[in-house]
């Protein structure tokens, strides 16, 4: 009888990890190879430069005065990119998150006066009294750690689900903080004014409800609400000229929307939508209803939009004034041409790259930056190519 050697535990681990290592190598090779390729847009020619790889499902980024870039990783880590290099040490003092499903450490934004006050804001999924919900915390960032962390917003109600946290943030010209809050898989709550879910929230930088909010004088209504009738808005941006707040949200099967937010407005979900249920059934009452706003742009089929930015830099003159939206489902960078508040053109970039684009940012250096929602994911800069 022939005796066969029994593999050691170390050999078994190596065998089990081999497919994972191969997959990670393929993803890394795909990102690096893209750097050597020249991409042609209708109004620009560009290359991709990977600033930082090896990130685990990066979700949001923020540029700080002095050149540092903060990046969130959904499992619960805040990372710093300094001088074009990812710092090995994680930022300390990050709040505990629930990294399940679509939840985890999500949005990050710096206070407009960060150079003086060192304040940053994080949005994330966390446990509360009644389950899991969208939270926003403010903290001081100094010496690679967060101190004086304080939760300034916790969405109600909370539940045991793991979807639709929203969690993008932007400061308006009014100095207020705008926060997107998904409906947490409970669509009817988006129409209820006694809930925070399915809404865009407006607070002061200190987390106080502004008296000018549209519902502060109505009994039984959450005073933090700025707009309602949203499904899962994962992109928000301030128009560089008008100062208007724009938001993009996921539809169900089709029906992704871009909306320009005005105080107290109902954007319709789930009463009106251009999408259908995931099994193909109709939703709500159609696509229009009096008292409910129409989107300025919608997609059918869905592109799964996440992250948006207006391009204002000088590196790509032909893109100036364009609105960029990351696409997860169709894996591309969506460029929209605008005429005032109207979308008059659309171009889909990086369609053959094969990456889920989670966030898009207009960099202070004039370049455009994107995050790929992969493991490993990367921070990538779009640069002009001759």
List Cβ neighbours of 97 (8 Å cut-off, separation of 6 or more): 75, 76, 103, 104, 105, 124, 125, 126
User: Taking 50 as the threshold, does the pLDDT of residue 5 lie above it?
Assistant: no
Task: Give 94-124 pLDDT, tens digit per residue.
Answer: 999 999 999 999 999 999 999 999 999 999 9
Say what the pTM is: 0.91
Instruction: Give yes or no for residue 246 having a pLDDT over 60.
Output: yes
pLDDT at 8: 46
Tell whether the model's pLDDT for residue 36 goes beyond 90.
Answer: no
User: CB burial class (10 A; 0-12, 13-18, 19+) of residue 366?
Assistant: middle
Helix (H, G, I), strand (E, B) or coil at 119: strand
- What is the rounded distance in angstroms from the CA atom of residue 310 to the CA atom of residue 91? 29
**Strands 119-127, 145-154: parallel, antiparallel or unpaired by DSSP?**
unpaired
Task: With a cut of 70, say whether residue 180 has pLDDT above it.
Answer: yes
Decide if 164 is catalytic. Answer: yes
> Of 295, 287, 247, nearest to 270 (Cα)?
287
Give the pLDDT band (50/70/90) at residue 35: low
Catalytic one of 164, 196, 230, 332: 164
Question: Which CATH number is 38-384's, of 2.120.10.30, 3.30.70.3000, 3.10.129.10, 3.40.50.12710?
Answer: 2.120.10.30
Percent of the chain beyond pLDDT 70? 91
State how far the Cα of 283 lies from the Cα of 305, in Å rounded to an integer. Answer: 20
């Amino acid at each position: 009888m022939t005796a066969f050697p029994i593999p050691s535990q170390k050999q078994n681990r190596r065998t089990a990890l081999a497919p994972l290592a191969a997959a990670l190598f393929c993803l890394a090779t795909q990102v690096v190879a893209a750097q050597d390729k020249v991409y042609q847009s209708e109004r620009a020619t560009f290359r991709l430069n990977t600033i930082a790889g090896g990130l685990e499902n990066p979700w949001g980024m923020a540029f700080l005065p002095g050149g540092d870039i903060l990046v969130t990783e959904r499992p619960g880590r805040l990372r710093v990119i300094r001088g074009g290099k990812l710092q090995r040490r994680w930022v300390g003092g990050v709040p505990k998150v629930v990294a399940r499903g679509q939840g985890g450490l999500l949005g990050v934004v710096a206070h407009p006066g960060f150079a003086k006050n060192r304040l940053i804001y994080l949005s994330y999924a966390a446990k509360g009294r009644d389950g899991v919900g969208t939270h926003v915390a403010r903290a001081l960032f100094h010496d690679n750690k967060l101190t004086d962390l304080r939760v300034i917003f916790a969405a109600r109600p909370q539940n045991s689900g793991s979807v639709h946290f929203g969690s993008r943030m932007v400061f308006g010209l009014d100095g207020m903080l705008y926060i997107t809050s998904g409906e947490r898989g409970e669509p009817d709550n988006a129409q209820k004014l006694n809930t925070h879910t399915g809404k865009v929230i407006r607070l002061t930088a200190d987390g106080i409800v502004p008296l000018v909010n549209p519902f502060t004088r109505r009994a039984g209504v959450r005073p933090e609400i700025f707009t309602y009738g949203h499904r899962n808005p994962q992109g928000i941006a301030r128009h560089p000229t008008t100062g208007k707040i724009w938001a993009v949200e996921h539809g169900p099967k089709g029906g992704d929307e871009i909306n320009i937010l005005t105080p107290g407005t109902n954007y319709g979900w789930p009463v009106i939508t251009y999408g259908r249920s995931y099994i193909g059934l109709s939703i709500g009452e159609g696509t229009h209803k009096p008292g409910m706003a129409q989107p300025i742009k919608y997609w059918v089929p869905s592109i799964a939009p996440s992250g948006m930015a207006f391009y204002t830099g000088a590196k790509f003159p032909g893109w100036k004034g364009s609105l960029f939206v990351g696409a997860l489902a169709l894996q591309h960078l969506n460029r929209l041409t605008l005429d005032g508040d109207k979308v008059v053109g659309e171009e889909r970039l990086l369609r053959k790259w094969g990456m889920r684009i989670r966030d898009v940012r207009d960099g202070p250096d004039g370049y455009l930056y994107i995050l790929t929602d992969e493991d490993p994911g990367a921070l990538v800069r779009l640069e002009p190519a001759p």
